[in-house]
Amino acid sequence: MAFEYIKALHIIFVITWFAGLFYIVRLFIYQTEALEKPEAERIILAPQLNIMSNRLWMIITWPSAILTLIFGFWVLYYRWGYMQLGFMHAKLGFVFILYIYHFICHKIYKDLQNGITKWTSTQLRIWNEVATILLFAIVFLIVLKSLVSVAWGIAGLVVLSVVMMIGIKWYKRVREKS
């Protein structure tokens, strides 16, 4: 019975972590664009977006990432036999990449809190889709529990990535026209 509660908590914190990751990069985009605005707008927008980013990052996203890790290891402890299966190695590899993504987002967060922009809003829009691709990979691996499906999954991720890139470029054109 305890396992089900631990697994449920792991899933809940994965969801809140991804919610934070999805929204923080959206805030990064707004912060970057706010820093490019005339001073009158920048003075109003930048502090408010900094507060929003700080609260999201420090109160929701970071704690969720840590609790995801704790409960994830706890779930793995109960299902240690999965470590003998290739799909779990692949899943953990994608989770490792997701934590790298998280740390890169932390660097971007710190820069933007100090008014430093190193990424364009277009680059951040593309960066925002990396979490989506990782989410797809991790969920399909854990649900299907099959490395054979990984080949199809990778092909699907490539197609998804291409479609997302086309969508980003299309959206950029639409924004530039208006």
Question: Would you list the DSSP string of 4-29?
Answer: HHHHHHHHHHHHHHHHHHHHHHHHHH
Residues in the annotated binding site: 10, 91
Identity of residue 99: Y
Domain carrying residue 146: 2-177
CA distance 138 to 135: 5
Structure tokens at 9: 């908590």
Q: What is the pLDDT of residue 114?
A: 95
149 contacts 140 by C-beta, under 8 angstroms: yes
Q: What is the pLDDT of residue 108?
A: 98
Cα within 13 Å of Cα(27), Cβ side = 27
Total length of the chain: 178
Q: What is the pLDDT of residue 177?
A: 85
| pLDDT tens, the chain, 178 aa long | 799 999 999 999 999 999 999 999 999 999 999 999 999 999 999 999 999 999 999 999 999 999 999 999 999 999 888 878 878 888 999 999 999 999 999 999 999 999 999 999 999 999 998 998 899 889 888 888 876 666 677 777 778 888 888 888 888 888 888 7
Q: What is the pLDDT of residue 147?
A: 66
Q: What is the pLDDT of residue 149?
A: 67
Q: What is the pLDDT of residue 171?
A: 84
Residue labelled with tokens 């704790």: 70
Q: What is the pLDDT of residue 18?
A: 98
Give the global pTM: 0.86
Nearest to 34 by CA among 113, 106, 126: 113
- Domains: count for the chain: 1
Cα within 13 Å of Cα(21), Cβ side = 25
Residue labelled with tokens 């820069």: 111
Residues in the annotated binding site for heme: 10, 91
Backbone angles phi, psi at 146, to 5 degrees: -145, 130
